[in-house]
Amino acid sequence: RSRPAVCYKSLSIDAGKPRRSDDDSERLAGKRIVNGRESRHGEWPWMVSLRSRYLEFYDFVATTAASPNAEPYHQDMALLKLSRPVPLSEYAQPACLEDPGQAAKPGDSCFIAGWGSVITGARVHSSVLRHAKVDVLNPVHCQTYNWMEPGSFKPGELCAAGLSHATDACQFDSGGPLMCYNSARKGWFLSGIISRGVGCANEYFPGIYANVTANIDWIEKTVASE
């Protein structure tokens, strides 16, 4: 399972800015996670694999609520608190959270990443981290799909798809990040969390994402209570 790490305003580190990558404003647009572009070592330093024997993170990990034992939810989102902070380095950095008024908008180009399957329907995850570019779609457009049943696309969720719907997350990518670059703040921000979809890169159905920015208040209250 793929997980993004998150940071908070109180941190004094240079978060959301990979130290080993190309110029963020000119990041290459990967093809797709299924048979997609391999990420370079340290390119997305806030990524966490819960399959590993180690965790590259600071204090909290953002993921989907379907992964742990979860109570009924309105948003597919959960926070995992680590038993101890992980030392930060150029290969281990948190991603940032946007202010509530800076949520991803329709037409924004963002990136997804994960260790999910590279072939649709496969039950084997990738041995290397992969990333791909997707565009955020209009919520009205997403609601017309009714991909599971009427009303299955919940208010406040995000949906996104790649060019000609050829880019998408796949099995084992759930819980991974939808990362959007803020050119004004020159950093990467966690805008969404991979939640669900129909198949992988299905031309008729976009991917559905929990909206992180819309739930900042819940995140901050949860962290403050720990």
* All domains in the chain, ordered by first residue: 2-224 (2.40.10.10)
The sign of the torsion formed by the CA atoms of 204, 160, 62, 132 equals positive
Contact status, residue 134 vs residue 143, Cβ threshold 8 Å: no
Q: What is the mean pLDDT of residues 137-166?
A: 73
Residue 136's pLDDT is 92
Q: Worst-scoring range by mean pLDDT, 38-42, 118-122, 135-139? A: 118-122
| Residue 166 confidence class, pLDDT cut points 50, 70, 90 | low
Q: Which residue has the higher pLDDT, 81 or 150?
A: 81
What is the arithmetic mean of pLDDT over 110-126? 71
Residue 154 pLDDT more than 70?
Answer: yes
**Phi and psi, residue 143, nearest 5°:** -65, -25
Q: Is 74 helix (H, G, I), strand (E, B) or coil?
A: coil
**Averaged pLDDT, 154-161:** 83
Which whole number is the average pLDDT over 31-46? 68
Q: How much is the average pLDDT of 105-118?
A: 83
Task: Supply the mean pLDDT for the chain.
Answer: 71
CA distances from 139 to 74, 89, 132, 158, 160 (A): 16, 38, 21, 7, 10
Query: For residue 99, what pLDDT is reported?
Result: 81
Please answer whether residues 82 and 63 qualify as being in contact, where contact means their C-beta atoms are separated by less than 8 angstroms.
no
Residue 30, pLDDT above cutoff 60: no
Residue 40 has pLDDT above 50, yes or no: yes
